[in-house]
Structure 1
């Protein structure tokens, strides 16, 4: 009997040791804007989305222990990169997700490569992340400046908006969006007649709007985002710019911006996005869960991208059995086809660009809205094959030829 008990205890101990040896632990850092102009479109909602992805993946049942930490980069590259280094060096973080603010994202991009970890960008816009600045450790998930420029810029020029004046956020994101949209405008026969650059998170756009008004351009292109976009559109309304015959093109608009503006002010705006909560039953179900957990707010495309990117990262972790080698994990992410409830089926290219459909939306008139957060109507679906910059044009050093 003693021999039998001893064998049983030994077998149990070996089984426990084997299970512990097989368990994979990963730590994900949600680095975002928790307190400033991008907090509504990312912020706490992005943290919720990442955690929801781990829950829906069933990580625990699959032997994967997932921990989360979050940080506020305050829209400053030095603060963001400092947090990233601390996370990678002392807190054993394996991957960073989100990072709205292109300047911060470009800094994180390099730190992640240096430390051989993983960066899945949902919040940043600059297409340079899959262009000249691409690395084998970064995946750019949701949208970028090339996709925004080609979606909105092309549509506006083709409907007669052939003279443009840019009001641009004066940092990496704004510069990239202005550059990419200018190229599209000119390629389609339009002309850029002027531009002005405004500091990030400025409360007063009056002097910039007066310059835009004086330009007589048919289109004032807003190469800004979040709170800056909301304030620009509100102040443009006060100046009577649209009433005077000029039109605004919101080159990066989020549903939280439309909500802040109200349909009366935002109606008729045309813009490009990667995702909308009312696209299908699965996106509506996600939005319902998100809203219940986030004070009634509805999710943006950035928060949807955090969910989808985190989900695919965990699939790669399941396949590789380790988060230690970031380059190997990203290689596996590129190898595996992507599929999730929000973006459907897709792929990740060699340059790190996630490929999926994009959409051209128009903000509804107040009378067209059937309820809270029912703000968009679809003008066009931009197929995945056309939505993003051709890989050969990006000058990514990972792409041969």
Structure 2
């Protein structure tokens, strides 16, 4: 297995003995584990690694006088591969925390492994609500979007626009199931109905059989419980099959700015989507977005911006706790108010869920856009307490009352 190894601080002056004892192995080591070559590589991938490096640099390259290092690897969207890498990192590689974890099946597996070893995970790429539900650990955090927030945002908006009958094209793994389940509840609670669903493998290139089933259902809305290139391919092929021309609407339940960029405004215009970060929302998000674009050539997705926030918050928590001990850091994170380019006045719930605002977006038409990456109208701001599941109802055993 080949690892990309990035040293965020190559040297640091040794602090006193007391401080060194509070930082295990004389350094803080963070692993970014995600999809770097497949369907989700554009929304996380090496972009998340770069965002993590930006956070380390912003923190000064050290914490408690000790150097901070970033390691990264490609889990190939396979739970067994991700678990193998994580086990090596945690057992022999002196990694203190693992972040991003795009793909929910990988995130669930690695979160469990890390919890057993009293190590921190901060998920920005995985989406299933199980991460802060029955699978939660005292050291696990869900830092960006989740499927409940996507359903509350996009699902509610589409039903309110008259899309009251749905058929789902669902990615065949934990994220897709969770997104379909959460959106179904939202649609039905709003008075709509779900007429059926079909599951497709990850990294599907031919959606013809699935789209024919959606077309035959007669549903007003075809809900895409998928992400990345799967969602892009489904939208493009739906247009080729004439679904949209015949009056069926496509609802991309997890669309990110990388997807809109890949589709182009001509194909994506008018689509509703829910995000927890948009580069052009305010001065602080614009500053981070523009600095990130200078380094990568693209604006950050909410996963990449979330990874920046997670790394920065983790380092601040170590500083405040005076230790990189997972229990002390986790306690500190749950007592902090998060204010950065990604989240404003956000708090962390007892189940590890970052309760940050999310935003209902609508994709601009080519005529409305003022230039590259000017893609969204912000239609609504949904407070975190409304977007995310009530922690008391999450099923997380850490939550009482």
Question: Per the shorter chain, which TM-score range?
Answer: over 0.9
Aligned residue in 1 for 2:16: 19
Say whether the 8 Å CA contact 2:170–2:198 is kept in structure 1: yes
Query: What are the within-5 Å matches in structure 2 for residues 295-374 of structure 1?
Result: 296-323=297-324, 325-374=325-374
How far did residue 49 of structure 1 move? 0.6
Aligned residue in 2 for 1:199: 201
SS at match of 1:288: helix
How far did residue 107 of structure 1 move? 0.2
Q: 1:141-164 deviations in whole A, cap 9, x for unaligned?
A: 011000101111111112211100
How far did residue 48 of structure 1 move? 0.6
Say whether the 8 Å CA contact 2:15–2:65 is kept in structure 1: no
Q: 1:75-123 deviations in whole A, cap 9, x for unaligned?
A: 0001001100100111100000101100000001100101110000000
Aligned residue in 2 for 1:379: 379
Distance in 2, matches of 1:313 and 1:242, equals 45
Say whether the 8 Å CA contact 1:361–1:380 is kept in structure 2: yes
Q: Aligned pair in 2 of structure 1 residues 54, 223: CA closer, same or farther (>3 Å)?
A: same
Q: Aligned pair in 2 of structure 1 residues 61, 115: CA closer, same or farther (>3 Å)?
A: closer
Moved more, 57-66 or 329-338: 57-66
Aligned residue in 1 for 2:171: 169
Say whether the 8 Å CA contact 2:19–2:64 is kept in structure 1: no
Say whether the 8 Å CA contact 1:274–1:357 is kept in structure 2: yes
How far did residue 62 of structure 1 move? 5.1
Query: What are the within-5 Å matches in structure 2 for residues 198-347 of structure 1?
Result: 198-294=200-296, 296-323=297-324, 325-347=325-347
Distance in 2, matches of 1:279 and 1:257, equals 18
How far did residue 22 of structure 1 move? 2.3
Query: What are the within-5 Å matches in structure 2 for residues 52-67 of structure 1?
Result: 52-60=54-62, 63-67=65-69
Distance in 2, matches of 1:204 and 1:222, equals 14
Aligned residue in 2 for 1:141: 143
How far did residue 269 of structure 1 move? 0.4
Distance in 1, matches of 2:90 and 2:119, equals 8
Say whether the 8 Å CA contact 2:63–2:318 is kept in structure 1: no
Say whether the 8 Å CA contact 1:64–1:318 is kept in structure 2: no
Q: 1:115-141 deviations in whole A, cap 9, x for unaligned?
A: 110000000100111111111110100
How far did residue 328 of structure 1 move? 2.5
Distance in 2, matches of 1:353 and 1:389, equals 9
The TM-score normalised by the length of structure 1 is: 0.93
How far did residue 17 of structure 1 move? 7.2
Higher helix share: 1
Say yes or no: does 1:122 pair with 2:124: yes
The TM-score normalised by the length of structure 2 is: 0.93
Distance in 2, matches of 1:153 and 1:163, equals 11
How many correspondences in the alignment?
Answer: 384
Distance in 1, matches of 2:63 and 2:318, equals 14
Q: Aligned pair in 2 of structure 1 residues 60, 327: CA closer, same or farther (>3 Å)?
A: closer
How far did residue 61 of structure 1 move? 7.3
Among 102, 105, 108, the alignment partner of 2:104 is 102
Structure 1 stretches of 5 or more lacking a match?
1-15
Say whether the 8 Å CA contact 1:174–1:224 is kept in structure 2: yes
Distance in 2, matches of 1:336 and 1:255, equals 29
Structure 2 stretches of 5 or more lacking a match?
1-12
Say whether the 8 Å CA contact 2:136–2:352 is kept in structure 1: yes
Distance in 1, matches of 2:64 and 2:170, equals 46
